[in-house]
Amino acid sequence: MPKSVKDAALIEPAKIEGEEVTLRTPKQIALARFKRNKVGPYSLYVSLFFILAAFFAPVITHLWGLSSTDIYTDGLDEFALPTGGFGGISWQHPFGLEPGAGRDVFSMLLYGSRISFTVALVTSVASIGIGMIVGIAGGFFRGRIDALIGRYSDFLFAFPSFFMIIALSYPMVDRVEKTGIARGNNARLLVLIIFFVFFGWPGFARLIRAQSMSLRERDFIMAAQAQGASNWRIITKEMLPNLWPTAIVFLSLSLPGYLSAEAVFSFLGVGIQPPASTFGLVLSDAVKYWKVDPSYLFIPSAMLIIIVLALNLLGDAVRDALDTKSE
Amino acid sequence: MLKYISRRLLYTVILLLLVSLSIFYIFDLIPVDPARLVCSKSCTTALVEANRHRLGLDVSVLEQWWRFIQGLFQGRTYGEGGIKDIYCGAPSFGYSFNRHACVSTIMAEAFPITLSLTIGAFIMWLSIGISLGILAARKKGKFADRASTAFVLIGTSLPTFITGIMVVLFIVLKFHLVNPLELGDWQNPFTNPLGWLRTFFFPCATLAIAYAATYTRFTRSNILEISTEDYIRTARAKGLSEKVILRKHTLRAALAPIVTIAGLDFAGLLGGAIITEGIFGLSGLGKLSIKAVTQTYDLPIIVATTLVGSAFVVIMNLIVDVAYAYIDPRVRTT
């Protein structure tokens, strides 16, 4: 008779006293740990809610009978301020009206968060893609490639990225528009993403490099090499599955970072421009009306903070679920 | 040790030269022509060319860069072929034709503001972050730990510009703590300490919140990780009090990596805290550069602030590395 569950698993994995012991894959373990987390699932629901709301912004605003470009002047008084309390909040305009122009804040923010999520998602995924390739190349092959990458990322870290983005965004947008790839806000979006990726990938590449360096010394890699597996096979079949958790954690933690970065640059006037309405733009406009229409300032702030908070909590939960060290 | 320092120093100098050279190349690539920008309405090709010569942009980028480096050490004369020559003494960072002043003079005015902001915020976030981190680690799982976790979450999720706006509008202006017209006015901390405090307390606090949160988290996890080490168990086994263990053994090891990060964060802010300076109306380096970009595209100022910003980071990196090698001799050999 086996003494403990552990012994039982060693001798006969199928059954102990009627209870079935199934072997779990790392994915299942992580998933179970995530579900056990108190806030993890809720932060996932909240994040998904906002992402879906942004994705379906045109549908939602249409169903609500609104448009992000229409002007509802009948809701404004003679000083172009929304009538009614709390910035003109009503069933028709759940977040009130924009003072001055009279657009609907609810649809403005939905469309704005669309841009923010696009920037955050595309940037994170692109940084992960580049960082993965470069990091594995450096960590697995070592030698000259590694030295080159190390020096290059040192060099890139020395650049004051914030300054460079601010200083170069105007001329870069100009350049992109001249090539005819994109115009207006699409060009600005593209430039912002290019900059974020350019300065963002070395951080992730370093992480992956360090991990692949320790992975390649592990026995299972040596076993694969002894069996005559090609480098390509070792990288794709042996190393990548071990590197995915890092990528997922990085993705979930960098999303809120890029989301607020986009807001900051738009707020400073070097990102997306009106008539688009991202969080940064709405907030920089709202500052002018803080005394007469504070809800126009509070609602976008609260929405941005809730999104960033939910994504941060989600990132923490994902990290805890995938991090085997804290078991 | 001397060998290590000299090697790191050489590497830093090379890195600085390379970074500055590439900044010159990057700004040469952009499709803004400063020679045309300073030209009046009745502009002719000849005038643009004359301007280009006056601005010193008619030579190759390499030559422009070399002149800049020389100017840093020797001072430099600007506006060749203009009505009169302008001399900026060493270290000369260029001449702004827009503002008719040496960039070094303009930056020297802005720097004390950025320095005040950075030092004030640095002291605040280090003291709050480290003490909260220690408290949370010692009371792991208790109320203090949970409260500090909440602080970390809120601090990392609040974008600085939102905290800044809220602090300015709903604390500083609402309660008339500062006259709106004097918001961001420079006060000398030595002759007018109270005025200085009034100007800088809120911006420093705003900046410090976000940093304090990350430092709390970092300190807490470092202490918890080190507490599981064998030598801590040994210390406990030989009967040292918890206080002594914390002070002499755990903290020493836990705070070393924090020194690295603190140094780099400090250097990064010295280049200018753009958002905080902008919101609180402080005319530091950050506001200087954003104004130069968005209002006049004043290239000499943009290049100079970018260069100074990266120089701070690179030099601080050197200092941190050397300090680390001093603490931990194993680093020197690598």
pLDDT attached to residue A124 = 92
Please check whether residues B233 and B250 belong to one and the same domain: yes
Tell me which chain A residues have a C-beta less than 8 angstroms from the C-beta of B317. Answer: 158
Q: Interior CA angle at B255 toward B253 and B261, to 5°?
A: 130
- Say what the pLDDT of residue B123 is: 92
CB-CB neighbors (< 8 A) of B281 in chain A = none
Tell me the shortest Cα–Cα distance from A84 to chain B, in angstroms.
22
- Which CATH number covers residue B174? 1.10.3720.10
**Cβ pair A166:B153 closer than 8 A:** no
Q: How many beta carbons lie within 10 A of that of residue B258, not counting itself?
A: 18
Distance CA A120, CA A126 (A): 10
Query: Could you say which of B69, B102, B135 is where a domain stops?
Result: B102
Q: Give the torsion sign (CA, B4, B10, B13, B15).
A: negative
Judge if B160 and B258 occupy the same domain.
yes
Pair (A65, A23) in one structural domain: no
Q: For A153, name the nearest residue in chain B, comparing CA atoms only.
A: B15
Q: Is residue A319 in some structural domain?
A: no
Kindly write down the DSSP assignment for every residue of A24-77, as one continuous string.
--HHHHHHHHHHHSSSHHHHHHHHHHHHHHHHTHHHHHHHTT--SS---GGGB-
A12 and A132 fall within a common domain: no
Q: Show residues of chain A in contact with B153, CB under 8 Å.
A: 309, 312-313
Number of domains in chain B: 2
pTM of the predicted model as reported, rounded to 2 decimal places = 0.80
Interface list for chain B against chain A, based on CB atoms closer than 8 Å: 15-16, 18-19, 23, 26-27, 30-32, 153-154, 156-162, 165-166, 169, 268, 271-272, 274-275, 278, 289-290, 293-294, 297, 302, 305-306, 309-310, 313-314, 317
Could you check whether the bond before residue B31 is cis, i.e. omega within 30 degrees of 0? Answer: no
- pLDDT, residue B31, reads 67
Instruction: Say yes or no: A73 and A138 in one domain.
Output: yes
Do B166 and B302 fall within a single domain? yes
**A80 Cβ under 8 Å from any chain B Cβ:** no
B190 burial via Cβ count (<10 Å: 0-12, 13-18, 19+): exposed
Nearest to B15 among A155, A301, A304 (CB): A155
A66 touches chain B (CB under 8 A): no
Residues B123 and B175 in one domain: yes
- Domain span holding position A274: 55-307
SS in 3 state form for chain B? CHHHHHHHHHHHHHHHHHHHHHHHHHHHHCCCCHHHHCCCCCCCHHHHHHHHHHHCCCCCHHHHHHHHHHHHHHCEEECCCCCCCEEECCCCCCEECCCCEEHHHHHHHHHHHHHHHHHHHHHHHHHHHHHHHHHHHHCCCCHHHHHHHHHHHHHHHCCHHHHHHHHHHHHHHCCCCCCHHHCCCCCCCCCCHHHHHHHHHHHHHHHHHHHHHHHHHHHHHHHHHHHCCHHHHHHHHCCCCHHHHHHHHHHHHHHHHHHHHHHHHHHHHHCCCHHHHHHHCCCCHHHHHHHHHHHHCCHHHHHHHHHHHHHHHHHHHHHHHHHHHHHCHHHHHC
Q: What is the pLDDT along chain A (327 residues), one digit of tens a residue?
A: 444 444 444 545 555 555 666 777 777 777 887 777 777 888 888 888 888 888 887 887 777 777 767 777 666 666 667 776 666 667 677 777 777 776 777 788 888 888 888 889 999 999 999 988 888 888 888 778 788 877 777 777 777 777 788 878 877 887 777 777 777 788 888 888 988 898 888 888 888 888 888 888 888 888 888 888 888 888 888 888 888 888 888 888 888 888 888 888 888 888 787 777 888 888 888 777 777 777 778 888 888 889 988 988 888 888 878 765 544
My answer on whether B111 and B184 are in the same domain is: yes
Segments in chain B below pLDDT 50: none
Q: What is the pLDDT of residue B144?
A: 86
Q: Check CB contact of A312 with chain B, cutoff 8 Å.
A: yes
Tell whether A175 is within 8 A of chain B (Cβ): yes
B304 to chain A: nearest residue by CA?
A163
Write the residue in A160, A174, A260 that is nearest to B310 by C-beta. Answer: A160
Say how many C-beta atoms besides its own lie within 10 A of residue A172's C-beta. 21
Chain B residues with beta carbon closer than 8 angstroms to that of A256:
157
| Residues β-bridged to residue A16 | A19
- For residue A102, give the CATH number of its domain: 1.10.3720.10
Contact A174 B31 (CB under 8 A): yes
Q: Does A106 touch chain B (CB under 8 A)?
A: no
Q: Tally C-beta pairs within 8 A across A and B.
A: 101
To 10 degrees, what angle do helices B251-270 and B299-327 make?
Answer: 170
Structural domain of B202 = 104-333
Residues B36, B74: one domain? yes
Say whether both B130 and B19 belong to one domain.
no
Pairing type for strands B101-102 and B95-96 reads antiparallel
* Domain count for chain A: 2
Does residue A174 form part of some domain? Answer: yes
Same domain, B125 and B159: yes
Q: How high is the ipTM of this complex?
A: 0.76
HSE of B320 in the Cβ direction (CA atoms, 13 Å)? Answer: 18
* pLDDT value for A8: 46
Q: What residues of A are in contact with residue B272 (Cβ under 8 Å)?
A: 163
B203 and B221: one domain? Answer: yes
Provide the pLDDT for residue A326. 47
**CB-CB neighbors (< 8 A) of A172 in chain B:** 30
Contacts B27 to A, Cβ<8 Å: 167
Question: What long-range pairs does A79-84 form, CB within 8 A, spacing at least 24?
Answer: A79/A292, A81/A289, A81/A292, A81/A293, A82/A293, A82/A296
Cross-chain residue pair A167–B306, CB shorter than 8 Å:
yes
| Distance in angstroms (rounded) separating the CA atoms of residues A159 and B60 | 23
